Amino acid sequence: MKLVLATRNLGKVKELTAMISTERRHKDVQILSLQDFPDAPEVVEDGDTYQANASKKATVIADFTGLRTLADDAGLEVNALNGAPGIHSKRWAGDDVTDAVRIQKLLEAIEGVSDRGARFVAAIAIAEPINPQKPPSLQSDRVQVVIGTCEGHIINEPVGDSGFGYDPIFVPVGYDKTYAELGEEVKNRISHRSKALRSALKLL
């Protein structure tokens, strides 16, 4: 079975591929990404929820490739920022900026704040390509979405060099190391994305 990951983020491709490969029942899945489809359209993430963005990406890419597609949308929600950056996590500090810039902006925004609580949230959608032989009314269930979360807190400065995004400043509950320090094996077991993915793989 072929499964397209609707992302060009190589860090995310690596992470999702590793998670899927550890599931025994899915070892026969051939994983593709948008690197394999250079002409795939850019999907504008203009939804107001993680679920909406993940669903849109999954259905657009499924229809373009003609293959079952998995898409995710995730964000970091910080208590002191009333849940920001949230669904805007990637572009909160501006378009096409580095992870270091995003992290710096967030740390400056909560400097001196005592409540450092935060959580990562991920929505994963799996969509089937549209079937031209079926009426639209019978295809409303062609996309399914699940949610995963991981509670934790934000530290004062980045630590660790693995992962991506805000990983170097997020320490999950029950641990004393950041996502970026824990290593792939541990992170891929406890993260928001892994929790959502385990639920999503049941849909396959």
Distance CA 162, CA 179 (A): 8
Active site residues per annotation: 73
Residue entry with tokens 């599931």: 23
Token pair 């805007």 is found at: 88
Task: Write the DSSP assignment of 54-101 as a string of letters.
Answer: HHHHHHHHHHHHTS-EEEEEEEEEEGGGTT-BGGGTTTTT-TT--HHH
Tokens of 75: 């964000």
Other residues' Cβ atoms within 10 Å of the Cβ of residue 152 = 22
Angle at 99 between CA 193 and CA 47, to 5 degrees: 55
In 3D space, the residue among 46, 189, 54, 34 whose CA is nearest the CA of residue 124 turns out to be 54
What are the phi and psi torsion angles at 61 (to 5°)? -75, -35
CA gap 64, 58 in Å, rounded: 10
- Measured in residues, the chain has a length of 204
